[in-house]
């Protein structure tokens, strides 16, 4: 069975959850099915190396942006179209190969190819007020076109599937629910000893903009009576200028109680980054997960695997995936967040929570995701 996929997400910067999904999925599918042949192509430099195994053929295609000048004329409109033509000419012409992109890529000139599309979430559609640029509008048009074209749609949660049906009228028979997993390394023990003199801390992991709702967390933390006792550690990219201004206005800037952990900026390889992240989860008093919306919420499973308590916004995907494990709060109320911060410090760890965490983790694995995806491929190949 042959599969074509773009490696676009490996050209992104940062620790995008989608990068982890695709890397885990590709390597494990190849391990389960020795007959699987994946052609993964990229055009331009990658920020993270794609997985390497005998079933994956990584094709580095020419990047047209290097030859089209000036950039202000060609790169915004012409370059993507020319790049698609180049990709079409250089990729293998196999009408039976399944096209399964890493993100929302439409197989130009390959209408005969079976097409599988993973729908990660419906954030852009749920919160259009955050996505008003020309690029955002173009993305939405392209995403809809990909969804309409796909033969099989893989959704990472029931929440995403329901939103997809409600917002785009997709027939449920085209959808398969294939949830994510968590890497086994996050479950490794023992918990390392905390650094001498280190204060207890709440932990925030991931991007911070738009629906991620980090600003409310910062404002809730700044007004929290226990702020002087418990710090807030943030794993993610460097502060944006507007974030620095906001933190300074809350007296949380340099010398304040917020500590930024830029794991990617440290130049660590993937294994060391994950080990450092695991250590942060294991030593944290709680993970704070304040999103207004998520398609799944990978950090939730990572935290549970590390035995980390969770204070989370009550949103459909989180309730679906981890049930009553967290201390919940209203994501639009800083006062409710403060109550949850205090409560999770007292009630976050217990034998009942640990047992609940084990039950939750037993339902999710990357191996299961790989096997279910292979089943979707085979079912589509039989139909075609």
The full set of domains in the chain, from first to last, is 2-181+365-383 (3.40.50.2000), 184-361 (3.40.50.2000)
Residue 193: pLDDT band (50, 70, 90) is low
What is the predicted pLDDT for the residue at 61?
82
What is the predicted pLDDT for the residue at 188?
75
What is the predicted pLDDT for the residue at 73?
52
47-to-114, 142, 252, 330 alpha-carbon distances in Å: 29, 24, 31, 36
The DSSP code sequence of 267-298 is T--HHHHHHHHHHHHHH-SEEEE--S--SS-H
What is the predicted pLDDT for the residue at 351?
86
Pick from 117, 94, 91, 95: nearest CA to 106: 117
Cis omega (within 30 of 0) for bond into 70? yes
Cis omega (within 30 of 0) for bond into 190? yes
User: What is the mean pLDDT of the segment spanning 350-374?
Assistant: 94
Pick from 192, 61, 236, 210: nearest CA to 132: 210
**Positive or negative, the Cα torsion across 201, 202, 203, 208?**
negative
- pLDDT tens per residue across span 211-269: 999 999 999 999 999 998 999 999 998 999 999 999 999 998 755 689 999 887 766 77
What is the predicted pLDDT for the residue at 60?
86
- pLDDT tens per residue across span 42-71: 888 888 888 888 899 998 887 766 666 555
Q: What is d(CA 179, CA 176) in angstroms, rounded to the nearest whole number?
A: 10
Residue 270: pLDDT band (50, 70, 90) is confident
What is the predicted pLDDT for the residue at 314?
98
Is 358's pLDDT higher than 90?
yes
Share of the chain above pLDDT 70, in %: 87
Q: What is d(CA 348, CA 332) in angstroms, rounded to the nearest whole number?
A: 22
Whether the Cβ atoms of residue 304 and residue 322 lie closer than 8 Å to each other: yes
What is the predicted pLDDT for the residue at 317?
97
236-to-40, 209, 221 alpha-carbon distances in Å: 28, 11, 18
Is 197's pLDDT higher than 70?
no
pLDDT, averaged across the chain: 88
What is the predicted pLDDT for the residue at 171?
94
Looking at beta carbons, which pairs linking 259-266 to residues 24 or more positions away fall under 8 Å? 259/201, 259/231, 259/232, 259/233, 259/234, 260/233, 260/234, 260/236, 261/233, 261/234, 261/235, 261/236, 262/236, 262/237, 262/238, 263/15, 263/235, 264/13, 264/14, 264/15, 264/237, 265/237, 265/238
User: What is the mean pLDDT of the segment spanning 128-133?
Assistant: 91
Coil, strand or helix at 233: strand
What is the predicted pLDDT for the residue at 191?
65
Q: Strand 152-155's sheet: what is its strand order? A: 116-119, 152-155, 175-177
Whether the Cβ atoms of residue 87 and residue 60 lie closer than 8 Å to each other: no
35-to-38, 73, 159, 268, 332 alpha-carbon distances in Å: 10, 44, 33, 34, 49
Q: What is d(CA 113, CA 94) in angstroms, rounded to the nearest whole number?
A: 8
User: What is the mean pLDDT of the segment spanning 336-340?
Assistant: 98
User: What is the mean pLDDT of the segment spanning 15-33?
Assistant: 87
Which element (helix H / strand E) includes 377? helix 366-383
Pick from 4, 17, 3, 14: nearest CA to 317: 17
Give helix 214-222 / helix 334-347 axis angle, nearest 10°.
70
Pick from 348, 315, 344: nearest CA to 220: 344
Would you say the pTM of this structure is higher than 0.85?
A: yes
Whether the Cβ atoms of residue 361 and residue 305 lie closer than 8 Å to each other: yes
Whether the Cβ atoms of residue 180 and residue 296 lie closer than 8 Å to each other: yes
Give the phi and the psi of residue 97 in degrees, each rounded to 5: -70, 135
Residue 360: pLDDT band (50, 70, 90) is very high
């Amino acid at each position: 069975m042959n599969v074509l996929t773009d490696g676009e997400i490996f050209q992104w910067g940062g620790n995008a959850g989608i990068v982890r999904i695709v890397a885990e999925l590709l390597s494990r599918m190849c391990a389960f099915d020795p007959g699987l042949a994946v052609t993964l192509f990229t055009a331009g430099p990658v920020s993270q190396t794609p997985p390497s195994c005998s079933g994956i053929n990584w094709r580095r295609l020419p990047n047209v942006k290097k030859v089209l000048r000036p950039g202000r004329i060609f790169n915004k409109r012409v370059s993507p179209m020319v790049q698609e033509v180049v990709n079409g000419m250089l990729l293998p012409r196999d009408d039976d190969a399944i096209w399964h992109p890493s993100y929302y890529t439409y197989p130009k000139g390959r209408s005969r190819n079976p097409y599988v599309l993973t729908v990660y979430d419906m954030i852009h559609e749920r919160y259009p007020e955050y996505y008003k640029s020309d690029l955002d509008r173009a993305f939405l048009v392209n995403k809809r076109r990909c969804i309409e074209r796909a033969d099989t749609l893989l959704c990472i949660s029931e929440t995403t599937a329901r939103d997809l049906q409600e917002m785009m009228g997709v027939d449920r028979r085209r959808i398969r629910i294939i949830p994510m997993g968590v890497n086994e390394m996050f479950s490794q023990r023992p918990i390392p000893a905390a650094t001498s003199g280190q204060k207890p801390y709440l932990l925030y992991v991931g991007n911070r903009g738009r629906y991620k709702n980090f600003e409310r967390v910062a404002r809730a933390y700044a007004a929290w009576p226990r702020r002087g006792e418990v710090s807030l550690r943030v794993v993610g990219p460097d502060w944006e200028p507007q974030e620095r201004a906001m933190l300074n206005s809350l007296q949380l800037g340099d010398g304040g109680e917020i500590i930024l952990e830029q794991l990617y900026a440290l130049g660590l390889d993937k294994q060391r980054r994950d080990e450092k992240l695991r250590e942060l989860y294991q030593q944290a008093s709680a993970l704070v997960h304040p999103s207004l919306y998520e398609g799944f919420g990978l950090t939730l499973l990572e935290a549970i695997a590390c035995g980390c308590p969770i204070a989370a916004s009550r949103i459909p995907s989180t309730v679906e995936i981890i049930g009553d494990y967290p201390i919940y709060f209203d994501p639009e109320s800083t006062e409710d967040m403060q109550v949850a911060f205090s409560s999770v410090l007292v009630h976050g760890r217990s034998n009942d929570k640990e047992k609940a965490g084990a039950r939750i983790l037993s339902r999710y694995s990357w191996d299961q995701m790989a096997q279910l995806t292979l089943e979707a491929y085979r079912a589509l190949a039989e139909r075609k």
